[in-house]
Structure 1
């Protein structure tokens, strides 16, 4: 069975979007968080069109290549225009965690309405031996609260956004992390942590 992890580009002050995120404007005014996807000359082996610096490509493709299923929350799903009926990952199917019906869901997506434990279980069933990634701050926070998360990967971009959607919501009193890897790269520092429950 694979691991469960969360990975996201995040500002130094902890935001995964700029101010004003919403449908059709999923990143709010924080589009610079993903400039490093296109700031190099090394093509991603997983995502077509991404050209990263060599260190970023190595880290990004290692993380993306592990993914067998994606669990996303409703805000991420709607703000991302429902991923066009597919998934944010080119090969890993989407499991949508929502507490209300999702009329736009397609047969390439799985809706779970009964909580994070069931969403992760469904994603594990899809992923097989590969990993499950939790996409969005709410889903990652719920996974941490439930003790389901093995790793957190932060692609920290050197910008202070001053507002937007924070990566973490209200967490348990303490979640201890152990630093596993730090990879500096142009426009981003990649940080990988183990969650110590």
Structure 2
């Protein structure tokens, strides 16, 4: 059976954006002169084979492309969808369809995007159908937290950037119970450390 996993760049203190994530220009940015959390996507000399325009370090590209190639469909939360200009009516992944999960109707959803308003379980089930046997990716802190609480996540990948933002939008929201993780891979690379965890059920 396909796996469900999340992958996102975060600061060491667990934020995916600085204190003013009020629009797409601030998404992923730290405070003042703090670097972008996504600089490592473009600071290397090795092109990604999955995402056009990404040039990563040799260490990062092997890890990143392996994870990206696993994705057959991706579930995205409404907040991330809006902060990302609705992905232009497409998907954040070049080769995988997107499933938007929302608590309310989204009239502007694109024709290439599937909308699910009946909860995270149904959204992941829809994504599995679209994934063709490949894995399902999760994008957005609310989506990841809801899926963790529902016991639907198999792995969590954190691309940890060596900066403390001290505030902003936290990647993980408050969960009702502890979620135990087991580190199964750690790859240090220029500007980022890639951490892959298994969710222990």
TM-score w.r.t. length of structure 1:
0.97
| Structure 1: segments with no counterpart, 5+ residues | none
Q: In 2 relative to 1, CA 83–19 (structure 1 residues): closer, same or farther, beyond 3 Å?
A: same
Q: How many residues are paired up?
A: 197
Instruction: Please state how far the C-alpha of 1:83 moved relative to its aligned partner.
Output: 0.4
Match of 1:121 in 2: 125
Instruction: Please state how far the C-alpha of 1:26 moved relative to its aligned partner.
Output: 5.2
Asked if 1 retains the 8 angstrom alpha-carbon contact of 2:128 and 2:136, the reply is yes
Aligned counterpart for 1:48 among listed residues 48, 52, 60: 52
SS in 2 for 1:152: strand
Match of 2:87 in 1: 83
| Structure 2: segments with no counterpart, 5+ residues | none
Aligned mates of 2:110, 2:65 — CA distance in 1: 27
Aligned counterpart for 2:187 among listed residues 177, 183, 188: 183
Aligned counterpart for 1:104 among listed residues 89, 101, 108: 108
Instruction: Please state how far the C-alpha of 1:25 moved relative to its aligned partner.
Output: 2.8
Asked if 2 retains the 8 angstrom alpha-carbon contact of 1:26 and 1:79, the reply is no
Aligned counterpart for 2:198 among listed residues 190, 194, 197: 194
User: Please, what is the CA RMSD of the aligned residues?
Assistant: 1.1
Match of 1:6 in 2: 6
Question: For structure 1, which segment, 118-127 or 164-173, has the greater mean C-alpha deviation from structure 2 after superposition?
Answer: 164-173
Residue 129 (structure 2) pairs with residue 130 (structure 1): no
Match of 2:70 in 1: 66
1:88-146 CA deviation, whole Å, 9 max, x = no partner?
Answer: 00011110000111121011000000000000000000002111011011000000000
Asked if 2 retains the 8 angstrom alpha-carbon contact of 1:19 and 1:28, the reply is no
TM-score w.r.t. length of structure 2:
0.95
Aligned mates of 2:85, 2:21 — CA distance in 1: 12
SS in 2 for 1:89: coil
